[in-house]
Amino acid sequence: MRKIFVLIILLLLTTSCASKYDTLMSSFKKGEFKRVFKECSGDNDPECKFLLGTLYYNGLGVKKDIKRGVNLIKESVEKGFAPAEIDLASLYMNGNGVPQDYEKAIELYRSAMDKGEALAFHNMGYLYANGLGVQIDYKKSLQLIEQSFAKGYNDATWMLGIIHLRPKSTIRDVGIGINWLEKGAKLNVIKSILLLAEIYEKGEIVPMDLTKSLYYYERAATFGNIKGQHKAGYAYYSGLGTPVNLKKAFSLIEKSASNGFVRSIILLGNIYRIDKRFKDYTKAFYWYKKALKGSNPYAQRQLGILYVSGNGVKRDPKKGFDLIYKSANQNDLDSAYLLGVLYEKGIGVKKSFETASKVFDIAASKGHTGSQAKLAEYYLKGTHFKKDTEKGVQWLTKAAKYDRYNQYRLGLLYFDQKQIAKAKFWLEKAAKQNEFNSQAFIALMYFEGVHYKKNLIDAYAWINISLANLPGNKNNTKIRNNIENKMDMNQIKNAQKRTRELIKKYNLLKK
């Protein structure tokens, strides 16, 4: 966490106030901001100055006015009101509404600490843990945050977990860190609950345990946490740490989506677009459109594709082009590639190979594999560009860096150029990453003894693996039958053993 946000309600709850302000804080918690504004207007007490500053700063019940809000909070600070000191310190720490100034933040936190404010102890501990305005000092951080917890700030359990789990922490102790987070979970601290869920989900700090991860995500969901709802819903949908339960999955994901969690909104769009059990383009369109409120580039791209294809909505290539264009302008490289394709084919826009190549070049220079492969195709075939094999190979090599199919294509290209060592390198690299064309090609070379010493057992093993990746492929089935016809039963038995060895060695059929 790089920022400590202005959590006014939490600040107020740590303060002892007269009954009038208890009432105002209660109204604040309920969202009755206009009532708070009316009650505090004209009141010079520090508590009201603070409340009014909070309303103006955040635009709650009044027109947002950050400068006025900060000034009112400063007036409250001048009167010695501790929650205002903490709030203003957080503003200085993050540079929100005021220039960033750690020295002023520290001075204000220390003043609030002198008044016994638990949150001030916590936030000073945070500064020491992150080296903000002070030298990193995990022992001092621990001491301060433990004091915060002792004073009743239960959210401190999250930070206490963090400083014990950090790899570079001088007080690193995974067991203690997990214990603090579990203590926080028992106290219903959402951040602690979510962090435990993530830790068990990733399996980097402790052994992966998806059942425990789901347990904590569901705990968070019971408090209405949208991320918890999303993650628990996805676990039930995918069977992660639990048997698949579609009723629970949709209930949780839809709750999260209805509360505006974009990842859940998009997940529902994807389910209705991709999952054969629920495929419904009209529903997919509905959910992607809901995600547009936040100008989400992925939602823009998927809506654009639906408009171009006419799935789930009346076909409108121009509208589809416009959405994909907007997404590409948000640096969505997949959208940039699609934009190039639309220009190339003249879909929703006037055909322009020149513009298409420029768009592909921009996306390719940023590492987009499909765009790199497109430019390679242009140069190698001489389409839209003057033929330039050297440039084509350069772009295809970039595309092959992380993409197994382009590794296969590059291998074939080197074979055509009689550069056999390079060809074998790229084909084997692709085959070991489970690219079935490469696996079949290598099988043929072993079978025919071309560039490899003839080896029926390896030939049979590689074509077996290729067929496992593409069951029923007629061409590969024919190749396997031809290999098998040249083998005796003992060789077939050894070849089946070799198949299992290769699968285990390269972790094949799981990629």
Q: Which residues, other chains included, contact 344 with Cβ-Cβ below 8 Å and sequence gap of 6+?
A: 351, 353, 356
pLDDT at 20: 75
Provide the 8-state DSSP code for 487: -
Give me the residue label for tokens 């594709």.
Answer: 305
Q: How far apart are CA 105 and CA 86, in angstroms?
A: 8
pLDDT at 213 over 70: yes
pLDDT at 4 over 60: no
Q: Do 384 and 378 meet the contact criterion of CB atoms below 8 Å apart?
A: yes
pLDDT at 357 over 70: yes
Band of pLDDT at residue 42, cut at 50, 70 and 90:
confident
In the chain the first and final C-alpha atoms are separated, in Å, by 34
The mean per-residue pLDDT over the stretch 211-233 comes to 98
- SS3 of residue 132 by DSSP: coil
Band of pLDDT at residue 16, cut at 50, 70 and 90:
very low
Domain ranges of the chain: 420-506
Q: Any idea which of 34-38, 121-125, 187-191, 337-341 has the lowest mean pLDDT? A: 34-38
pLDDT at 22: 82
pLDDT tens, residue by residue, 421-451: 999 999 999 999 999 999 999 999 999 999 9
pLDDT tens, residue by residue, 449-483: 999 999 999 999 999 999 999 999 999 999 999 99
pLDDT at 233: 98
Residue 420, CA atoms < 13 Å, CB-side half-sphere: 5
Q: How far apart are CA 189 and CA 298, in angstroms?
A: 32
pLDDT tens, residue by residue, 265-323: 999 999 999 999 999 999 999 999 999 887 899 999 999 999 999 999 999 999 999 99
pLDDT at 73 over 90: yes
pLDDT tens, residue by residue, 103-114: 999 999 999 999
Residue 488, classified by CB atoms within 10 Å of its CB into exposed (0-12), middle (13-18) or buried (19+), is exposed
Q: What are the CA-CA distances from residue 190 to residues 141, 183, 216, 256, 455 (Å)?
A: 22, 12, 10, 16, 60
Q: How far apart are CA 298 and CA 460, in angstroms?
A: 43
Amino acid at 247: K
Q: Do 252 and 221 meet the contact criterion of CB atoms below 8 Å apart?
A: yes
pLDDT at 509: 73
Residue among 338, 259, 337, 326 nearest 299 (CA): 326
Give me the percent of the chain exceeding a pLDDT of 90: 91
Amino acid at 335: S
pLDDT at 510: 63
Residue among 262, 334, 319, 335 nearest 296 (CA): 262
The mean per-residue pLDDT over the stretch 409-413 comes to 97
Band of pLDDT at residue 9, cut at 50, 70 and 90:
very low
pLDDT at 129 over 70: yes
Taking phi first (over 0 means left), then psi (-120 to 50 degrees means alpha), and beta for anything else, what does residue 160 get? alpha
Give the chain's mean pLDDT: 94
pLDDT at 2 over 80: no
pLDDT at 249: 98
Tokens in use for 381? 């075939």
pLDDT at 64: 96
Count CB atoms within 10 A of the CB of residue 462: 30
Q: How far apart are CA 450 and CA 239, in angstroms?
A: 46
Band of pLDDT at residue 511, cut at 50, 70 and 90:
low
Q: Do 374 and 337 meet the contact criterion of CB atoms below 8 Å apart?
A: yes
pLDDT tens, residue by residue, 370-388: 999 999 999 999 988 899 9
Length of the chain measured in residues: 511
pLDDT at 245 over 60: yes
Provide the 8-state DSSP code for 454: -
Q: Which residues, other chains included, contact 59 with Cβ-Cβ below 8 Å and sequence gap of 6+?
A: 65
pLDDT at 61 over 50: yes
Q: Do 407 and 429 meet the contact criterion of CB atoms below 8 Å apart?
A: yes
pLDDT at 385: 83
Band of pLDDT at residue 19, cut at 50, 70 and 90:
low
Residue among 182, 12, 169 nearest 83 (CA): 12
